């Protein structure tokens, strides 16, 4: 996808997923080694930083992998915004190791699963 297509799709999906009350910034950048958390057959195309308390979020897209971005990857990132409040609560109230485990595995798995379901139903 091109940058203008991605921006248009992010706005569209944010509205469908009731996330358009967020101050949502979209940033295109070349990812550093730390940002490229590739594992096996998964390549990092984007990630999201979200502040649930102040309804602000930024989605970063990897300019080296714009071709890999599709509706599912965009929905995946928006769903991270939806879960930011819960994840923030865990970090505030649970041991860091538990919160890391939630974020690194359960949140990732849940948004991946929901992104597939949503895009197959609504695309």
Pair 13, 78: CB distance under 8 Å? yes
Q: 110: which 2 tokens?
A: 């849940």
Smallest gap from Cβ 42 to Zn ion, in A, equals 10
Strand locations in the chain, DSSP E? Answer: 23-29, 46-51, 56-62
Please count the residues of this chain forming the interface with Zn ion, following the rule CB under 5 A: 1
**Distance in angstroms between the alpha carbons of the first and the last residue of the chain:** 15
Q: 3: which 2 tokens?
A: 């940058």
- CB burial of 59-71 (b: ≥16 within 10 Å; e: otherwise) equals bbbbeeebeebbb
Q: Which residue is nearest to Zn ion (CB)?
A: 108
Smallest gap from Cβ 104 to Zn ion, in A, equals 10
Residue 52 CA from chain centroid, whole number: 14
Q: Which residue's CB is nearer to Zn ion, number 4 or number 25?
A: 25
Contact region with Zn ion (CB under 5 A), list: 13-21, 36-44, 61-69, 108-116:
108-116
Q: Which residue's CB is nearer to Zn ion, number 85 or number 108?
A: 108
Smallest gap from Cβ 108 to Zn ion, in A, equals 5
Q: Which residue's CB is nearer to Zn ion, number 89 or number 105?
A: 105
Smallest gap from Cβ 52 to Zn ion, in A, equals 16
Q: Which residues of this protein are in contact with Zn ion, per CB under 5 A?
A: 108
């Amino acid at each position: 996808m091109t940058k203008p297509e991605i921006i248009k799709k992010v706005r569209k999906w944010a509205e469908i997923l009731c996330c358009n009350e967020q101050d949502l910034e979209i940033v295109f950048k070349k990812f550093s080694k730390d940002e490229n958390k590739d594992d096996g057959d998964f390549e990092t195309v984007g990630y999201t930083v979200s502040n649930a308390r102040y309804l602000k979020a930024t989605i970063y897209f990897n300019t080296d992998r714009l071709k890999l971005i599709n509706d599912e990857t965009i929905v995946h990132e928006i769903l991270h915004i939806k879960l930011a409040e819960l994840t923030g609560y865990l970090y505030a109230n649970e041991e860091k190791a538990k919160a890391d485990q939630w974020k690194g595995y359960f949140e990732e798995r849940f948004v991946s699963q929901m992104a597939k379901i949503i895009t197959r139903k609504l695309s």
